[in-house]
Amino acid sequence: MYTLLKKEIRSFLSSLIGYITITVFLLVIGLFLWVLQTDSNILDNGYANIDGLFIIAPWVFLFLIPAITMRSFADEKRAGTIELLLTRPLTDLQIILAKYFAGFVLVLFSLLPTLIYYYSVHKLGSPAGNIDTGGMWGSYIGLLFLGAAFVSIGIFASAITDNQVVSFILALFLCFFIYIGFDYLGSFALFGKVDNVILALGINNHYISMSRGVIDTRDIIYFISLIAIFILGTRTVLESRKW
């Protein structure tokens, strides 16, 4: 499994996909935080925080993570190498986890350079260091969980089809719906007390909770459960070839 994981990471980093993904993510975030005249512009707001990063990043991830994961299984199926991969001395779950963690590592790589933004704001504070570090780390943890959830959804979408474009569109739709779709359904107030349950099914509700700097076990359990559901769903799709 570790060998396959290294192979997948090398595959990302030896092609333009990995570098384009990281560059686009940092460029978009940087533009919103430092250049464009938006509510997230740090210099215009005059406050020592990087909250804009955690507001914008999920929307950027909505597009970038499906682009990262769309080739995971779809490309293997298209190239006809999926059978060769599945004959390796690895279980289906180990293959899925190798591809999943490879995608997650790329997400982690894209987030690490954003610590430069934190350092910059830390120095710009008056006095220097006047920034809510606890809330910032809570937001980073929430963003990592969100990215991990999106990767699991993308891997699942890629396993369903052999077309990368279809995989991208399906992953984008699923990520969007699970991220913000439940919020829209709950906001209609059509189901009474069930509306709160509907809201709790969405990623955004738990992501906002973690972004406050409070790491609640319920939020962690939610993300782990969501990731597990889609990973097991991917395994079910792969095992369906045996039916």
Which is nearest to 72 in space by CA: 122, 106, 23?
106
Angle of helix 51-69 relative to helix 164-176, nearest 10 degrees, comes to 150
Residue reference for tokens 């799709």: 237
Task: Give the residue carrying structure tokens 């990281």.
Answer: 22
**Contact by Cβ (8 Å): 158, 68:** no
Q: Are 179 and 82 in contact (CB under 8 A)?
A: no
Higher pLDDT, 17 or 177: 177
User: What domain range is 9 assigned to?
Assistant: 2-242
- Give the number of domains in the chain: 1
Return the higher-pLDDT residue of 157 and 89.
Answer: 157
Instruction: Give yes or no for a contact between 208 and 133, defined as CB atoms under 8 angstroms apart.
Output: no
Residue 137 vs residues 127, 133, 142, 146: alpha-carbon distances, Å: 20, 6, 9, 14
pTM flag (> 0.85): yes
- pLDDT tens for 85-138 read 777 777 888 889 988 998 999 889 888 888 888 888 777 766 666 677 777 788
Task: Give the residue among 226, 189, 188 at the shortest CA–CA distance from 204.
Answer: 226
Structure tokens at 233: 């769903």
Angstrom distances, CA of residue 96 to CA of 72, 103, 148, 206, 236: 9, 11, 14, 25, 11
pLDDT grade for 46, boundaries at 50, 70 and 90: low
